[in-house]
Amino acid sequence: MRQPGKLLALVVALTSLAALASGGSAGSLSSYGLPNPTSQPKDIVVAPDGNVWFTEASDGVRRIGRLDTRGKLTEFVMPSAPDQIAVGADGNIWFTMASTIGRLTPAGVFTEFTPLSDGGYQSFPRDITSGPDGNLWFTMGGMIFKMTTSGEMTKYVVTSSIYPDLQGITVGPDGALWFAEYQGNKIGRIDVNGNITEFGPVDQPMNIGAGPDGNLWFTCPASHTIGRMTLSGGITLFPLSGFPQPWNPVAGPDGNIWFTEYLAGKLAKITPAGVVTQVQTVPSAWGLARGVGNTLWVTHLDEGKVSKFTLAP
């Protein structure tokens, strides 16, 4: 574990960012250009205070960005490329990096934690979420880690597949953690005591989120499919037209499930019954997060922008 230190680097602090708004019957989009247009913003999360945090992980940029409620951007330089991000029960920002877990306080103090791994493909943390028990939970290879906010870790191994390649993880409406097994072709459930149950088969699921309907929703980018899973393991698949490559399902403020379509460059939604609508053009749409009120936040992976989408009343 790397010991806590002072703020690594405050790259830029702008009083405001230029916002480009586009209107539409379904809502309006305000886009905020980042100083480095090739920074590749990826995952995004909105803290309880309304501040927006996101990862930037291009070859030359390794930063955590924060956009406050006044439109002021602050960027923090990281020692390696950050990927997935979450707000912890302690109020700090937690994120995965190349082979470690990072913690950043709102004041900018950074700490790095190294999980014990079996080497090889097992050594790369994937997704991270704040659990119902106040701990952080993250996936890594064939393992799930439970991590206290002080850095103590407990490892749980998924043994049903040689290479399950665990990816997305989320808190389900039942208080358990649900995760996607990309190579294992399954959806898994682990309770806070470490008991694991798996369901499937599902074709290479990547991201997973809890829906407003009490079900789990997941994306299969390789097969251009959205999936719905009940708490008892019932699976319904909704193939998407074309080749949109869906990512990051999020429960929206309107009772629908929203997701990004990276290849199609769209922000889309699916009703609990399975009706899909491409709502807004968002070039290279990737990360997605529920915002304050009637808003969603999305990252443009290839354009160096983050955008706020405000749903129409």
Please give the angle made by the CA atoms of 285, 250 and 185, to the nearest 5 degrees: 90
Other CB atoms within 10 A of residue 92 CB: 19
310, β-bridge pairs? 28, 295
* Residue reference for tokens 């429960």: 251
Q: Indicate the Cα dihedral angle 191, 196, 199, 205, nearest 10°.
A: 80
pLDDT at 290: 98
Sign of CA dihedral 244, 222, 194, 217: positive
CA–CA gap between residue 309 and residue 266 (Å, rounded): 12
pLDDT at 12: 45
Do residues 84 and 102 make contact, with C-beta atoms less than 8 angstroms apart? no
Q: pLDDT (tens digit, 0 to 9) for every residue of the chain, 313 residues total? A: 444 444 444 444 433 333 333 434 689 999 999 999 999 999 999 999 999 999 999 978 999 999 999 999 999 999 999 999 999 999 999 999 989 999 999 999 999 999 977 655 567 899 999 999 999 999 999 999 999 999 999 999 998 888 899 999 999 999 999 999 999 999 999 999 999 999 999 999 999 999 999 999 999 999 999 999 999 999 999 999 999 999 999 999 999 999 999 999 999 999 999 999 999 999 999 999 999 999 999 999 999 999 999 999 8
Q: Which domain holds residue 25?
A: 2-311
21, β-bridge pairs? 30
CA–CA gap between residue 39 and residue 150 (Å, rounded): 30
Instruction: Supply the DSSP string of 272-305, one letter for each residue.
Output: TT--EEEEEE-TTEEEEEE-SSSEEEEEETTTTE
Backbone torsion region of residue 43, taken as left when φ is above 0, otherwise alpha when ψ lies between -120 and 50, otherwise beta: beta
CATH number assigned to the domain comprising residue 180: 2.130.10.10
pLDDT at 20: 37
Task: Specify the number of domains making up the chain.
Answer: 1
Do residues 116 and 134 make contact, with C-beta atoms less than 8 angstroms apart? no
Q: Indicate the Cα dihedral angle 20, 23, 29, 30, nearest 10°.
A: 30
